[in-house]
Structure 1
Amino acid sequence: MLATTQVVEGSIEGLPNRIHEVMDRHVVATPDHPALIDDRTRLTYRELDQAVGGVVEALRGLGIRPGDRMMIVSENSIPLACLLLAASRLDVWSIVVNPRLSPRELDQIREHSGARRVMLTAGVSQEAATHAARYEATVQDVGALRGIGVTGLNLATLPEPVEADGAEQVAVLIYTSGTTGTPKGVMLTHRNLLFSARGTAVWRKMTVDDVQYCVLPISHIVGISLLAMTLMVGATVRLVAKYDPAALVKAMAEEGITILNGVPATYQRLLEYRRNAGLAKLDRGRLRAISVAGAPLDLELKSRVEQELGLPLLNGYGITECSPGISGVRPDTPRDDHTVGSILPGVEARLVGHDGKSVAAGEVGELHVRGPNVMRGYYRAPDLTAKVIDPDGWFNTGDLARFENDAMYIVGRTKEMIIRSGFNVYPAEIEAVLSTHDAVVQCAVVGRPVEGNEEVVAFVQLIKGSTVTAQDLMAHVAPQLTSYKRPSEIILMDALPATSTGKLLKHKLAESLRS
């Protein structure tokens, strides 16, 4: 089966050539409109333009050249946004890194990327300050930015060629570890980011009056996309360093935020806070759109969130290598099921079977996509790039999906599919059943190799204080799953391993079964 949307006429035409250019017309048209707000300060479009200009000059003075790679170790903040936009003006590749990463992880990225310098927002977070001290960085002003840790110059690194075309020039290098633990640098061009950002902004009907609550880290692709799309329409970005449900409740009631994006855990913790704080009802204020991505969405959680906020929770699907948007549920056609929506305009999708051929309508296949959102490749890894992007430009997401008409459903990861007694078992189906139990906060299902077969093992995190046992959960799922899909074992955990955005690290759970 081939499920595609037609490439929208003019979907690339009219895009800026560089990400920093998204704000240019608003600097002229609405110079006094708020552009960025964080916990410390706010900048209008005029002030943002001036701040970025000052940072550009400072970076030049620090020996940063076009084509250099520059690491920015920072939580979401105005200094981070200014450094990112200044790097774009200089044709420098930005590598935004979460300061909550370990020293080993930071060192791996620094070494692999050949970063010219590392900039650390020591004045924003203690974690960044700790890394700055370890790197013996000089804490100084960079333009109007205060408290920036600046490492010594990497004299050995060479700049990459600068491409005039934004479709070729790399804007950001995002490192993902995947299931191997070895970081891969995803090269995303200016066109990649701008195409995806504009598509989402149009879909959400964003206007200058919107205030986007950006709590998903800009060190990940979704955060960068949220920043770009909001500045593109001349709206306001409310930058949030670390997620705090109490702060979100305040922002809804008092700060006029209109759009909220999160992972399932964002909303789970919000509802827990309301209950624990004894609030009768959350005041949603001007909030008009809420969306979720990054992990499978439990329908019971979706229902509770929608009932609480009086808005449809719009599910979506994307991947770093696709900048990230691939599909989403449209605001004007909300859904009450697990679908991640329809393929975004301008993006093509097809489902491929084990034999490399397109699967029949309604069947599960591996999702391949093609479009202006697909990455340029993995940095310094042409072999890895060739494994995921074929000569015709189709990118293999590694995810299993199926279609019902134009609605796509993600079934699981190709590598996560469990083959038990000759039957294909998709973890997402078992996780969905487990999640219908009232005591389950989140869960993850993985395969465990046994002689000549695979077993199904479920890891489950329960609500604090719950007395539910693994046997209770087994009794709950047994009537709802055929025998080969039922877990051989259910393991209860206080917390499941996850990234800073809440995405579960299934490979760590799988590794724990082999140790």
Structure 2
Amino acid sequence: MQASTQFEGSVEGLPNRIHEVIDHHVGATPDHPALIDDKTRLTYRELDRTVGRVAEALRALGIRAGDRMMIVSENSIPLACLLLATSRLDVWSIVVNPRLSPRELDQIRDHSGARRVLLTAEVSQEAATHAARYEATVQDVGPLRGIAVTGLNLTTVAEPVEADGANQVAVLIYTSGTTGTPKGVMLTHRNLLFSARATASFRKMAADDVQYCVLPISHIVGISLLTMTLMIGATVRLVAKYDPAALVKAMTEEGITILNGVPATYQRLLEYRRNAGLPKLDRGRLRVISVAGAPLDLDLKSRVEQELGLPLLNGYGITECSPGISGVRPDNPRADHAVGTVMPGLEAKLVGRDLKPVGAGEVGELHVRGPNVMRGYYRAPDLTAKAIDPDGWFNTGDLARFENDALYIVGRTKEMIIRSGFNVYPAEIEAVLSTHDAVVQCAVVGRPVEGNEEVVAFVQLIKGSTATVQDLMAHIAPQLTSYKRPSEIILMDALPATSTGKLLKHKLAESLRG
């Protein structure tokens, strides 16, 4: 199955560097708000001046073109300014979530050979704690106050600078994947700009939009939201930590128009409305709500749509693809699990284990090709060669199927369970389990047994629920054939997840082997 849509001038007209997205608006709409966080706001003119002064300060700190620089920060104006300033200097940004552990931070610093680590000590306690451990000096970086700066790494070597934005790395994003060992994904300026423009285009974004950016900029979606909004000349409302009460206020009082989240974002919003005794949420100017990052429970989708009176648009992407691969269009909403149609300018194909195309409607491994595909994994040519073939096709590692041009994600290739010779896709079992009223979230993994694999489900129940394992088994039995039914259901208070709410299935699988 091949699906591809040509996007006229897909890379034509793109700026060469991400910081250049603001240039037109600095001249055309200098007083329009560009960035707003909890403490301050900057117009496009102010943002341009601030970024220029930050770039000068970074140069004075010994940051050179081709260096890697870590920025440990929650979403905030200082983070956005540092990110754009590094682009001006041809420095690779490594934005890191301060909620990572010391071990995880050190792994990224050491692997990347970061020239310096900058931490927004005044934005979050977590960043301040890391700053103290690194014995970083809190100082001003240009007009930015309270930035903790570590000593200079004198041994690190700068990478060559590429004139063409298609080759110059803009950001290095570390992703643990299924192995638990972080990999540095090299995303170029063109990767980011191409993907951001495609998403802005199908959402019909305009300068009067206010994008609520609560997904961390330390992850690819947050960087893409920031880039696409500034590209359009609209306003980014930066949010350091998700709080449903603050989101409700932003809808009613701040005029936000676009909200992106993971399923947990919406789950917690509905819980807040119920617990706060609000009769109904006022969506204000909100016009687009989208979700990605984890399988979407159709019951949750339906409740969100009923509450906000808008279609919840499902999407699919991956860090290595900057991230956009497909999305449901606002003018063509869907009631099912589909993650929409493939982004314009991308090619997609589904292949079997023999790497040959699968038949129409069949499940295969999804491979994609286009200007959004990463340059590779940093300092890991072997991993890059495994992920991207000589013809430029990137193996997503996800199993999918097409129905006409609609894409459905079935699960991860590595997560597929082979039980008694049958292929079992965890996403299907999770979808059935999630229809039980008491289930908040669940994850299904395989457990190796002699000559076979068993299906094991981990389930988190609503607080105070009296539902039992037997109740859950009885609920799913009529809906799943015998080989798909879990051999065991394990109840947990909370499932292990990343800061963005993505479940860490490899940790659950490891717990079964321990």
Check whether TM > 0.5: yes
* Aligned residue number for residue 113 of structure 2: 114
Runs of 4+ with >4 A deviation: none
Q: Aligned residue for 2:335? A: 336
Residue identity matched to 2:375: R
AA aligned to 1:199 is A
1:182 maps to a residue whose letter is T
Deviation at 1:180, TM superposition (A): 1.1
**Structure 1 residue 181 displacement after superposition:** 1.2
* Counterpart code for 2:367: H
Residue aligned with 2:382, SS:
helix
Show the counterpart of 1:54: 53
Which residue does 1:246 correspond to in 2?
Answer: 245
**Distance in 2 separating the partners of 1:24 and 1:465:** 54
Per the alignment, residue 196 of structure 2 pairs with 197
In the aligned structure 2, how far is the partner of 1:223 from the partner of 1:157?
Answer: 28
2:281 aligns with: 282
Question: Which residue is 2:481 aligned to?
Answer: 482
Q: CA deviation at 1:8?
A: 1.4
Hey, what does 1:419 align to over in structure 2? 418
Corresponding residue number in structure 2 for 1:355: 354
Counterpart in 1 of 2:462?
A: 463
Q: Secondary structure at the match of 2:414?
A: helix
CA distance in 1, matches of 2:211, 2:120: 22
Q: What's 2:490 paired with? A: 491
Give distance in 1, aligned partners of 2:364 and 2:49.
50
CA distance in 2 between counterparts of 1:166 and 1:359 reads: 35
Q: Are residues 1:405 and 2:398 paired?
A: no
2:511 alignment counterpart: 512
In structure 1, what is the Cα distance between the partners aligned to 2:49 and 2:499? 32
Within-5 A mapping of 1:61-100: 61-100=60-99
Q: What is aligned with 1:270?
A: 269
CA contact (8 A) 2:251 2:282 kept: yes
How many Å apart are 1:10 and its aligned residue? 0.5
CA positional deviation for 1:7: 2.5
Matched, 1:391 2:390: yes
Partner-residue secondary structure (3-state), 1:495:
coil
Paired with 1:152 and 1:368, the residues of 2 have a C-alpha distance of 42
User: What are the within-5 Å matches in structure 2 for residues 372-391 of structure 1?
Assistant: 372-391=371-390
Report how far residue 9 of structure 1 moved.
Answer: 1.9
Distance of 1:408 and 1:252 partners within structure 2: 31
Partner of 1:314: 313
Q: Which runs of 5+ in 1 are unaligned?
A: none
Q: Which deviations, in whole Å up to 9, do the C-alpha atoms of 1:448-500 show, x marking residues without a partner?
A: 11111100000111111110011100000000000000011111111110000
| Deviation, structure 1 residue 305 | 0.1
Counterpart mapping for 1:113-262 below 5 A = 113-262=112-261
Between the aligned partners of 1:481 and 1:374, the Cα distance in structure 2 is 37
TM-score (norm 1): 1.00
Tell me which moved more, 176-185 or 199-208.
Answer: 176-185
Alignment partners' CA distance in 2, 1:483 and 1:179: 28
**Counterpart position of 1:10:** 9
Per-residue CA distance 1:53-107 (angstroms, 9 max, x = gap): 1101100100000000000000000000000000000000000000000000000
Q: Counterparts of 1:450 and 1:409 in 2: how far apart (Å)?
A: 30
> Counterpart of 1:339 in structure 2: which amino acid?
A
The alpha carbon displacement at 1:6 in A equals 2.8
Mapped to 1, the partners of 2:147 and 2:369 lie a distance apart of 39
Task: Give the residue type in structure 2 aligned to 1:469.
Answer: T
The one-letter code of the counterpart of 1:369 is V
Letter in 1 for 2:148: G
- Between the aligned partners of 1:7 and 1:71, the Cα distance in structure 2 is 36
Instruction: String of CA shifts for 1:133-153, please: whole Å, max 9, x gaps.
Output: 100100000000000000000
- Give 2:102's aligned residue: 103
Which residue pairs with 2:447 in the alignment? 448
Residue pair 2:5, 2:342 contacting (<8 A) in 1 also: no
Conserved in 1, the CA contact under 8 Å of 2:195 and 2:324? yes
SS at match of 1:272: helix
Per the TM alignment, residue 5 of structure 1 is displaced from its structure 2 partner at its CA by: 1.9
Decide whether the 8 Å contact of 2:69 with 2:117 is kept in 1.
yes
Q: CA RMSD in A?
A: 0.4
Whole-angstrom distance in 1 between the partners of 2:244 and 2:7 = 38
User: Aligned-pair distance for 1:442?
Assistant: 0.6
Count how many residue pairs are aligned between Structure 1 and Structure 2.
Answer: 514
Counterpart code for 1:322: C
Aligned to 1:305: 304
CA distance in 2, matches of 1:11, 1:472: 52
Q: Deviations over 1:222-277 (max 9, x none)?
A: 00000000000000000000000010011001000000000000000000000001
The CA distance in 2 between the partners of 1:440 and 1:272, in whole Å, is 14
Q: % of aligned pairs identical?
A: 89
CA contact (8 A) 2:454 2:487 kept: yes
